[in-house]
Structure 1
Amino acid sequence: MGGLLGPDFPGDIGLAVSGGGDSMAMLTLAHNWTRVWGVRLWVVTIDHGLRRESATEAAMVAQECAALGWPHATVKWHWDGSGNLQDAARQARLDLIDRWRGVLRHVLMAHTKDDLSETFLMRFKRGSGVDGLSAMRDRREIHGAGSAAALEENEFLGELPPQSGFREAREMQSDSFEVLRPCLSMRREDLRHYLTVLKTPWAEDPSNLDPKYERVRVRQSLPDLDRLGLSVDLIAETAKRLRRAQEALQQRAVQVWRDIGHEGRTEYARTGDILLTRSGFDGVERETQLRLLAAGLQYVSSAPYRPRAEPLEALLDRLLGGGGGTLHGCECRAEKEQLRIFREEKPLKNLTSPDPQHGFWDQRWRIPAPLPDGAQIRNLGDEGWRLIENKRDTAIPYHAARSLPAVWKGDVLLACDAFGVGPGGGLALWPHGRAGHSFARFLLSH
């Protein structure tokens, strides 16, 4: 913890504790550490409701926190059945922690050296490159996915961290928080031995023994790999070396970005596009080209993950040949002097703001002021393009303009900030358009 946050520790820190052996050990270790440093802990358990035992396990964590003297909250999640369950649960966990944390800036998670090694092997099997095989960071910044709304009373049970100034703190400081992983150098078996000695309870998730899950199969193969000399420690050290290589490649990409790239904007507002000078981009080594393209696609689409390697390589080849294509919710085009990465229009066709008063549109566009009655956010589209009178005076081409957000009331275009239509101030980039959330910073953190 000294290496992660010291020497001036924050007064309050969050912990995500599921009730499993790793997280219960982290809770106990943190409890003993705070007695020396005077840090207050706030504990959260995300109950995904996917197993009948989950509520009992959350209650066990709450009981242990009460015995240790720390406030605890159980936050419930209900899967809507869409998408991949594990991906949905992982993203929901981060979103709910973001809403639970109030003004806390740091949340501990109990990933171990075993988790690191298992992830390495799973990604190695998929043919991942340097980024996929790099060790997970012991600290990672998580940017808000567009929802800064505090939890409702029916969404949690227990006590929340300080919520006063919840929205104001995020407006003035940052919408992001940091995940800290203080147990990455520890083995799972050592943490369970620690719990056994201290007679601390923990719960065993039966799915951790179910071979239908890839991670379980990898975990069960580790003893065989160890006999071949491929130990968990060796795998973890290899992943750390690849992390250093990744950091060097990230720095190179940032340097190139600052030389040949910029974020799209007009004299009125940001457009959210990523623009790269073709003459400069063509002369850059392929690894950096792929890194800039992948980050640009993820940045513009607000996707949680990078695009897969094979379609990314194919798209790069088309761009270098003067063409373009769609990928990861974005469209890319080789224009006369620059490459443009912009939001694909098709996914936005029927997308409107879920909360027109204080809502978000397409995850990255925030509405800071109440909209007029009956108004909503939609993309500009062909209809809006026809209504823009000064479209030839800006640098926004037709193919990129159609996906821009606009304020509509029926068929009447009330505002489109990028073209200076309307009173202005109606829309602001979320989250990357805020101070400190530039594309260069995004390159360094993804």
Structure 2
Amino acid sequence: MSVTSASLTSFPVSSVSAAEFSAALAQCFGAAPVPRHLAVALSGGADSLALTLLLADYASATGRRLTALIVDHGLRPESAAEARHVAQILQKRGIAHDILTWQPENSRATQHRARQARYRLLTEWCHHNAAGALFLGHHREDQAETFWLRLAAGSGTDGLACMAPLRREGAEGLVLARPLLGFSKLRLRETCAAFGETPVEDASNAKPAYSRNILRLNRDALPFDAEKTLRIVDVFARLRRHMCRLTQEALQGCAVFYAAGYAVFDLQTWQKFPQELQKRTLHTALMAVSGRGYPLRTRTLMTALEAAHSRKNGVLTCGGCILETEGGRLTICREAAAVAPVPVTTQETQFDGRLRLRFDVPLPENAVLHVLGRRGVSFLPKEQRKIYEKRRRALPRFARQSLVTVEKQGRILALPQLGWLDAEVFPKNGRISAEFFPNAPIFAIDIEIV
């Protein structure tokens, strides 16, 4: 028999205790340490508000620092006032906070675009303020809804594993933590009440124009309740973890990732793997090299798979990468033409979802990050040209084109991956480092980057 949310309200519902929350955190992080600086995404709804209040007590008890991040998404006229109201709750409680503002380009911006912008603002804040973990308030019903939506969309085993309690961006990057996946929304509402706070209700969550809202309005029609659904999700999650381990082990045996941001596969070794592992290893490499934070389309991946199996040498553009097969090797490089220039405003920054740059020099005013493309190094002073051209030529031809540049008004000021800085702009012993550091959660275990 399916138990609905409505029928649950007839039973007493308790708030989430500090002990329960600490246990949920321990289960979420496992053997990984909880960072010292924590950030939490706070919309003001019951889930994120309860999470913030519980985290504030946890941070105080363990000597950690917590910052609540409120995003004013600008989709509704009242969003700015709501952000200020939530900030007042935090101010009263002495919880550090910051309001991040997104200005949609037009009034027709969708919830999907708003979520993307919100995620970008939150993660950029964390990177720039050295927060080691970003906490998100997804709860039990959110996880169950995600399963049914993905099932309806035809997702595979990885998609049906739904949201992971802990996800890391890159080998040492920001941790996304969801410690409330085992708690119901009713308990989170009760938790807010126990703290004496009233959550903000977002009216757009009830609009039937969005698939998730339609699912919520018709939850009683689902074949399983949230508890049974989560047991199914757990089966897929275990399968995903197992396949992830197999994929990483296979990558260690067939591919080498290079610091310049490209990968090389030994095709003879790779082609001995079962087809599922071939697809997964190739997909992982394409995501890492392209800097994508989301999976490739199945058709795109199959195109790459066919190219890797071809007996002919050749070049293919695919998924933001250039694949070149030659002499039993598959070289995957970032497609330079797919990279857009971006302003550089901080001493440490992420570029193109794949490189982390650190400036140990003053930032030039109005500088941008871009890629070298086909320009070569002929612009260098004659006495320097030979040594840097030698370094450039040591790379695969398409990896040369995707080398990061620091530019101003079309003039190249630095080639960090080749170690060149314009002496007229930067101090003599200055340094700009560029590390291959993909945004996407690529490496579950250590992969050597040479």
**Structure 1-normalised TM-score?**
0.76
Q: Does 1:258 align with 2:252?
A: yes
Of the three residues 352, 358, 362, the one matched with 2:352 is: 362
Deviates more, 1:413-422 or 1:375-384: 413-422
How many residues align? The count is 400
- Alignment check: 8 A CA contact 1:105 1:177 kept: yes
Distance 1:408 1:43 in 2: 35
Question: How big is the shift at 1:36?
Answer: 5.5
* Structure 1 counterpart SS, 2:374: helix
Deviation at 1:115, TM superposition (A): 0.9
CA distance in 2, matches of 1:415, 1:198: 53
Q: Given the alignment of the two structures, is residue 282 of structure 1 paired with residue 309 of structure 2, yes or no?
A: no
Instruction: Give the Cα–Cα distance (whole angstroms) in 1 for the partners of residues 309 and 97 of structure 2.
Output: 54
Write the deviation string for residues 400-436 of structure 1: whole angstroms up to 9, x where unpaired.
Answer: 4323234678888776566676789555135349xxx
Counterpart code for 2:318: L
**Please, which of 197, 200, 217 is the counterpart of residue 214 of structure 2?**
217
The secondary structure found in structure 2 opposite 1:59 is helix
Question: What is the SS of the residue equivalent to 2:85?
Answer: helix
Consecutive unaligned residues in structure 2, runs of 5 or more: 1-21, 380-384, 423-429
Letter in 1 for 2:156: G
How far 1:357 moved relative to its partner?
8.2
RMSD of equivalent CA atoms:
3.7
**Retained in 2: the 8 A contact 1:299–1:442?**
no
The one-letter code sitting in structure 2 at the alignment partner of 1:262 is: V
Q: Check conservation: 1:394, 1:419, Cα contact below 8 A.
A: no
Residues 248-300 of structure 1: per-residue CA shift (max 9 Å, x gap): 11111111111111113xxxxx3211111010111111111111121212111
Higher RCO, 1 or 2 (CA under 8 Å, sep at least 6)? 2
Deviation track 1:91-127 (CA, whole Å, cap 9, x = no partner) reads 4333333454524323322110111111112222222
Task: Deviation per CA, 1:54-94: give whole Å up to 9, x if none.
Answer: 22222232232234332333222223459974444334333
> Does residue 96 of structure 1 match 2:86?
no
| 2:162 aligned to which of 120, 124, 135 | 135
Q: Does 1:329 align with 2:320?
A: yes
Determine what percentage of the aligned residue pairs are the same residue.
28
- Name the CA shift for 1:337/1:426 in 2 (closer, same or farther; >3 Å): farther
| Map 1:2-401 → 2, pairs under 5 A | 2=23, 3=26, 4=28, 13-31=38-56, 41-80=66-105, 85-101=110-126, 102-142=129-169, 176-196=173-193, 200-225=197-222, 228=223, 230-264=224-258, 270-322=259-311, 325-348=316-339, 351-355=340-344, 358=347, 361-363=351-353, 364=355, 366=357, 368=359, 369-370=361-362, 378-384=370-376, 394-401=393-400
| Distance in structure 2 (CA, Å) of the matches to 1:336 and 1:82 | 53
Aligned partner of 2:338: which letter? P
Q: Is the 1:123–1:132 Cα contact (8 Å) retained in structure 2?
A: yes
> Which whole-Å CA distance do the structure 2 matches of 1:328 and 1:83 have between them?
28
- With the length of structure 2 as denominator, give the TM-score of the two structures: 0.76
The one-letter amino acid paired with 2:376 is G
**For the residues of structure 2 that align with 1:209 and 1:27, how far apart are their CA atoms?**
23
Would the aligned equivalents of 2:351 and 2:369 in 1 still touch at CA under 8 Å?
yes
What residue ranges of structure 1 are gaps of 5+ in the alignment? 145-173, 265-269
SS of residue in 1 equivalent to 2:264: strand
Shift of 1:198: 5.9
**Do the aligned partners of 1:31 and 1:68 also contact (CA within 8 Å) in 2?**
no
| 1:429 alignment counterpart | 435
